[in-house]
Amino acid sequence: MRVYLDNAATTPLDAEVLREMTLVMESCFGNPSSIHGHGREARSLLEKSRKTVAGLLHAAPSEIFFTSGGTEADNTAIRSGISSYGIKHAVTAKTEHHAVLHTLEDLEKQGQIRLSYVNIDSKGNVDLAHLEELIAQERSFVSLMHANNELGTLTDIEAVGEICERHGALFHCDTVQTMGHYPHDVEKLKVHFLVCAAHKLHGPKGTGFLYINHRVKIAPMISGGAQERNMRGGTENIYGIAGMAKALEIAYRDMDEHHQHIQGIKSYMKEQLETIPGVTFNGETDPSSSLYTVLNASFPEMEMADMLLFNLDISGISVSGGSACSSGTSIGSHVLEAIGVSADRPAIRFSFSKFTTREEIDFTIIKLKEALGV
């Protein structure tokens, strides 16, 4: 039996998405920037996909810009947002994805910004009072993710948006883990930038988008042709974009059903893990404050912690893991280190999808207990 429980890293391509992409690959190969018939056909498909994405987010099509994925979208929002508005202060959390952390750290090293870190608690929750304190004195750029990719802890981005609006801060939110799992209504959210990577919601790799609120005007990060309304040079990935639009459409169509199924799988996994002595959970696990696709657990100390993941892999079980960063090394999870998880305990992130079954959970628990000698 082969079990895939690493859906926070990437998800399998949905069969409907594959069919959509195959049709496009077979019939629509023109360059959307060309003015002849083949080009116009590609342009029509591109704009149809843009309207689909925009409609689901309650955005205007002119606010959606296609990218190569989440990392490019994060970099564009951060680098161009800070540069275009001359912002000298940025705020983030030490639990953010490296696409955000490393980008902001680079800008700080280059002397372009002063970087502050908002306080977080032992479960990865953002201290909103401290956030307000940090941005009260000067115009700032705030980058906080909706759901942590390792812990699953959700941030109240509505509250963050309200705080940012009060103090004139630009708010960038990495929604890579929640796009397609929760509805995002940009008419209600006070956010300037949202991010999507299609492969996190059963779409193709190498495709994503950046939502930029129409009130925000930034310079492009990638220069070239006039593609994406002069915001992102380079011929658009028509096949990937069509697949992403289809994947997001399916995700919104079946969201309630998938939420119920995956939450049930996560709750069942947690119950089964609790039968293993010494297991604890990292991040929020309450359904109201935790991403339903992610469960992070720490296991008792063991001499060769890496062997736990190795043994699961040998058994055909794919998961992500690692302990907190050890002192003096860069190996391990910066997220677990930031919330104070012991570096001596192996941790595993189990992440689920609409395809995950209880039988797969049962098999995983059996193999885990064997590996742990329980």
Which CATH number fits the domain that encloses residue 173? 3.40.640.10
Q: What is the number of domains present in the chain? A: 2
Whether 170 and 26 map to the same domain: the answer is yes
Residues classed as catalytic: 325
Give, for 142, the enclosing helix (H) or strand (E): strand 141-143
Whether 247 and 130 map to the same domain: the answer is yes
The domain boundary, picked from 253, 268, 300, lies at 253
Q: Is the pLDDT of residue 16 over 60?
A: yes
Whether 64 and 210 map to the same domain: the answer is yes
Write down the number of H helices and E strands in the chain: 13, 13
Whether 184 and 327 map to the same domain: the answer is no
Average pLDDT, the chain: 95
Determine the structural domain holding residue 293 and report its residue range.
3-11+254-372
Q: What is the CATH number of the domain that holds 324?
A: 3.90.1150.10
User: What is the CA 9 to chain-centroid distance, rounded?
Assistant: 9
pLDDT tens readout for residues 321-358: 865 554 444 568 999 999 999 888 899 999 999 999 99
Of 92 and 300, the structure prediction assigns the larger pLDDT to 92
Q: Is the pLDDT of residue 21 over 60?
A: yes
Q: What is the pLDDT of residue 120?
A: 98
Query: Tokens in use for 117?
Result: 């870190």
| pTM summary value | 0.95
Q: What is the pLDDT of residue 374?
A: 85
The domain boundary, picked from 218, 253, 288, lies at 253
Whether 287 and 352 map to the same domain: the answer is yes
pLDDT tens readout for residues 276-327: 999 999 999 999 999 999 999 999 887 666 788 889 999 999 999 865 554 4
Whether 184 and 65 map to the same domain: the answer is yes
Whether 240 and 209 map to the same domain: the answer is yes
Q: Is the pLDDT of residue 146 over 80?
A: yes
What letter would DSSP give residue 80?
A: I
Whether 163 and 25 map to the same domain: the answer is yes
Q: What is the pLDDT of residue 329?
A: 46
Q: What is the pLDDT of residue 325?
A: 53
Whether 296 and 165 map to the same domain: the answer is no
Round to whole Å and give the CA distance between 63 and 119.
32
Mean pLDDT of 85-103: 97
- List the single range of 182-186, 270-274, 299-303 with lowest mean pLDDT: 299-303
Per-residue 3-state assignment (H helix, E strand, C coil) for 4-59: ECECCCCCCCCHHHHHHHHHHHHHCCCCCCCCCHHHHHHHHHHHHHHHHHHHHHCC
Mean pLDDT of 177-182: 98
Whether 358 and 335 map to the same domain: the answer is yes
Q: What is the pLDDT of residue 328?
A: 44
Whether 54 and 129 map to the same domain: the answer is yes
Round to whole Å and give the CA distance between 247 and 253.
10
Task: Report CA-CA distances (Å) from 328 to 53, 246, 331, 332, 346.
Answer: 44, 45, 9, 11, 18
Helical spans, DSSP H, in 298-357: 306-314, 334-338
The domain boundary, picked from 199, 218, 253, lies at 253
Whether 220 and 139 map to the same domain: the answer is yes
